[in-house]
Homo-oligomer: A and B are copies of this chain.
Amino acid sequence: MNETLIISTSDVDRIVREAGPDAVMDELIAHVGEAFATYNPSETRAPVRGGFSYDRPVTGLVEWMPCMRVGQEVVVKMVGYHPENPERFGLPTIVSTISTYDTSTGHLSCLMDATLLTAMRTGAASAVASSLMCRPDATELGLIGAGAQAITQVHALCRVLPIRRIRVYDIDDSALKTFAKRLDGLAADIEIEITDRDDVVRNSDVLCTATSVGVGKGPVIGHVEPRSWAHINAVGSDFPGKTELPVSILRRSLVVPDFEEQAVKEGECQQLKADEIGPSLAHFAGHPALAREHRDSLTVFDSTGWALEDAAAMEVFLAHALRMGLGRSVRLEATPDDPRDPYESVRAAIETHLTD
């Protein structure tokens, strides 16, 4: 009963392979959407994440994203953000693991790779926001940034909108070169057009910004007019000083944060005053009719990434893992016969060393 279930990347891959990427994404969209719609701060506590950021040995940060379902479990996602990872180390920019702790005992019940989970749930959150705030006939998807997160944005949005064309821009040609290949099988019958960033902004019904722009280096789009009904998922803004959108666009949009308390510190909402910020995604998810009223005007989903989403996504993956019997159980933590005896298992050595 006190083992820790370790679910590694190969287990996660197997879940997605066997259940099917579309089915898993659909589940994540439903489950993350439900978590927002039913969010009740007295039942679920998901505070602003904490973390360390640094400039050496490289530019990066390690953060902890805790969430508690009161009376049930604590879920903590650890996430590293290191923009130089792909070029320097051949690793994803975002590397992550997620753990669950039993609130009866403090026992670490599960540790899971959360790199794919993070990419997929970020896509799922944009899908939740976009189905609420986009015109349902949105066919033109624009992407600023063609990295790993762009792939799951496309995947998720194509599950909820009738996307027919993707316009994509990245400052890094190498990301653009492999973009179509990385979308293989996820965007069938969808035209992919590599173009300049103004074209992307001007001609999108739904737009995603998912860049590794540096602190203070935004915005990542120019002073170009988006479509008057466009919905923008601003995904990359997730750190103090890191923003992607021009404040001029934000001021003319209804800006809906995933979690306002965090978004004012790390998201596009950093650029806004309190009275310029719209209702939260939780509010809209709970009252979809209110959200729909904004479908014909400019809206922004300020997606900083909230622990609430991770806890919901963890449930989806964990249920599959348990059903499929995946993962390996490790007796990680001490379970002495006498819980008051920390040295129980080493007592023999105490005697031996004494007589030495």
List residues of A (7-30) whose CB comes within 8 Å of B's CBs: 8-10, 12-13, 16-18, 20-23
- Write out the residue numbers on chain B whose beta carbons fall within 8 Å of the beta carbon of A342: 92, 115-116, 119-120, 148, 151-152
List residues of A (25-82) whose CB comes within 8 Å of B's CBs: 45, 47, 50, 52, 54, 56-58, 60, 62, 64, 66, 68, 70-71, 74, 76, 78-82
> A42 to B70, alpha carbons, bound, how many Å?
37
**Contacts known (A182-B338, A350-B186); A343 close to B78, Cβ less than 8 A:** no
- Write out the residue numbers on chain B whose beta carbons fall within 8 Å of the beta carbon of A332: 6, 8-9, 97, 111, 113
A111-125 CB mask vs B (1 if < 8 Å, else 0) is 101011001100000
Copies in the complex: 2
**Quick check: is A85 within 8 A (CB to CB) of the other chain?**
yes
Selected from B45, B186, B330, B353, the residue in CB contact (under 8 A) with A8 is: B330
> A119 to B332, alpha carbons, bound, how many Å?
16
- Write out the residue numbers on chain B whose beta carbons fall within 8 Å of the beta carbon of A223: none
When C-beta atoms are compared, the residue in chain B nearest to A9 turns out to be: B334
- Write out the residue numbers on chain B whose beta carbons fall within 8 Å of the beta carbon of A21: 343, 346, 349-350, 353
> A350 to B104, alpha carbons, bound, how many Å?
40
Beta-carbon contact of A82 and B56 below 8 Å: no
CB proximity of A179 to chain B, nearest CB, Å: 8
- Write out the residue numbers on chain B whose beta carbons fall within 8 Å of the beta carbon of A113: 332-334
- Write out the residue numbers on chain B whose beta carbons fall within 8 Å of the beta carbon of A137: none
| Residue in A62, A104, A342 with the greatest tally of chain B CB atoms within 10 Å | A342
**Contacts known (A10-B331, A16-B349, A333-B115); A178 close to B76, Cβ less than 8 A:** no
> Which residues of A pack against B, CB within 8 Å?
2, 6, 8-10, 12-13, 16-18, 20-23, 45, 47, 50, 52, 54, 56-58, 60, 62, 64, 66, 68, 70-71, 74, 76, 78-82, 85-86, 89-97, 99, 101, 103-108, 111, 113, 115-116, 119-120, 146-148, 151-152, 155, 175, 178, 182, 184-186, 188, 328, 330-351, 353-354
Provide 16 A-B residue pairs closer than 8 Å at the C-beta atoms, listed in order of the A residue. A10-B331, A50-B66, A57-B103, A57-B104, A58-B104, A80-B105, A85-B105, A89-B104, A92-B339, A92-B342, A113-B333, A116-B343, A148-B340, A178-B340, A182-B343, A188-B354
